[in-house]
Amino acid sequence: MSENQKKIWITGASSGIGKAVAEKFANKGWKVAVSARRKVILDKMANHQNIFSYALDVTNSEEVNKVFSKIIEDFGEINICIFSSGTYDPKNEQSINIEKIKNVMDVNFLGVVSSVKAVENYFKEKKSGQISIVSSIAGYRGLPNSSGYGPSKAALTNFTESIYFDFKKFNVDVSVISPGFIKTPLTEKNEFSMPFLETPEFAAKRIYDGLIKNKSFEIHFPKPLTLLLKFFRILPYKIYLFLIDKGVKR
């Protein structure tokens, strides 16, 4: 391994966007620490010379701290963290199910918060690096049949905006990733047509370019969909609710 080799930690890396991003960075020569609950998949990914497996349940904050300490011990340093752990089941979003919503918030929101907390002192003392959080366009505004997932992503986006200011004082870049519909095991559960559906590899390229080349606060894609929904964000409630009510099949 080269002494100048850059290093990255990615959670939620066993499938979908997280897995594709891990492989993208590894193929670009980065040393990649991958974390998720499914150790068997991570270990298989670690057949790549630049990928290293660190199984982790992000809902266990003590475990998150231990894993990050182990990564620093093994890697020496980390330049970028991408926190992309998440869960989603549309069948559980049809009505308000408190236990299911708690689980979604534990993984999608609090799991990411625990991950950021684990690396907070490291990056602030280092006074450099990047933290990027995978949210979703589902967090832009309220949508039908999204009693848990959408709110968890809205909280995540707001959290990322908030900590941006805290980390900026320490020369640490914070960004949010807002994907549209990407073909993953989670979106395959959807029973509706997904406009502008893209592959995980498409997402990985946009994320890599956004973090390495552009370094903008929000990395969002695919643009035809995200720009439309950004327009919807500024609409008055009366117009927005009318359009969604008429346009979304429930």
The predicted pLDDT at position 219 comes to: 97
Which residue shows structure tokens 């959080």? 133
Quick check: helix, strand or coil at residue 91?
helix
Do residues 196 and 180 make contact, with C-beta atoms less than 8 angstroms apart? Answer: yes
Apex 8 CA angle, 26 and 120, nearest 5: 170
pLDDT by position in tens, the chain (length 250): 456 899 999 999 999 999 999 999 999 999 999 999 999 999 999 999 999 999 999 999 999 999 999 999 999 999 999 999 988 777 767 788 899 999 999 999 999 999 999 999 999 999 999 999 999 999 999 988 888 999 999 999 999 999 999 999 999 999 999 999 888 777 767 767 778 889 999 999 999 999 999 888 999 999 999 999 999 999 999 999 999 988 765 5
Tell me whether strands 130-134 and 80-83 are parallel, antiparallel or unpaired. Answer: parallel
Dihedral angle of Cα 42, 44, 47, 52, to the nearest 10 degrees: 10
Domain 7-247 has CATH 3.40.50.720: yes
- Ramachandran angles phi, psi of 233, nearest 5°: -65, -30
Q: Alpha-carbon distance 129 to 119, whole Å?
A: 11
Task: Tell whether the torsion through CA atoms of 121, 124, 128 and 132 is positive or negative.
Answer: positive
The predicted pLDDT at position 166 comes to: 96
HSE-CB at 180 with a 13 A cutoff on CA atoms is: 20
Counting runs of H as helices and runs of E as strands, what totals does the chain give?
A: 9, 7
The predicted pLDDT at position 170 comes to: 98
Domain boundaries, the chain: 7-247
Q: Alpha-carbon distance 102 to 98, whole Å?
A: 6
The predicted pLDDT at position 1 comes to: 46
Tell me whether strands 80-83 and 51-53 are parallel, antiparallel or unpaired. Answer: unpaired
Q: What is the pLDDT of residues 94-151, one digit of tens each?
A: 788 899 999 999 999 999 999 999 999 999 999 999 999 999 999 999 988 888 999 9
The predicted pLDDT at position 212 comes to: 95
Quick check: helix, strand or coil at residue 136?
coil
- The residues that bridge with 191 in the sheet, in sequence order, are none
The predicted pLDDT at position 191 comes to: 67
Which residue shows structure tokens 């992000």? 58
Q: Alpha-carbon distance 21 to 236, whole Å?
A: 36
Burial class (CB in 10 A: 0-12, 13-18, 19+), 201: middle
Say how many Å lie between the first and final Cα of the chain, rounded.
Answer: 52
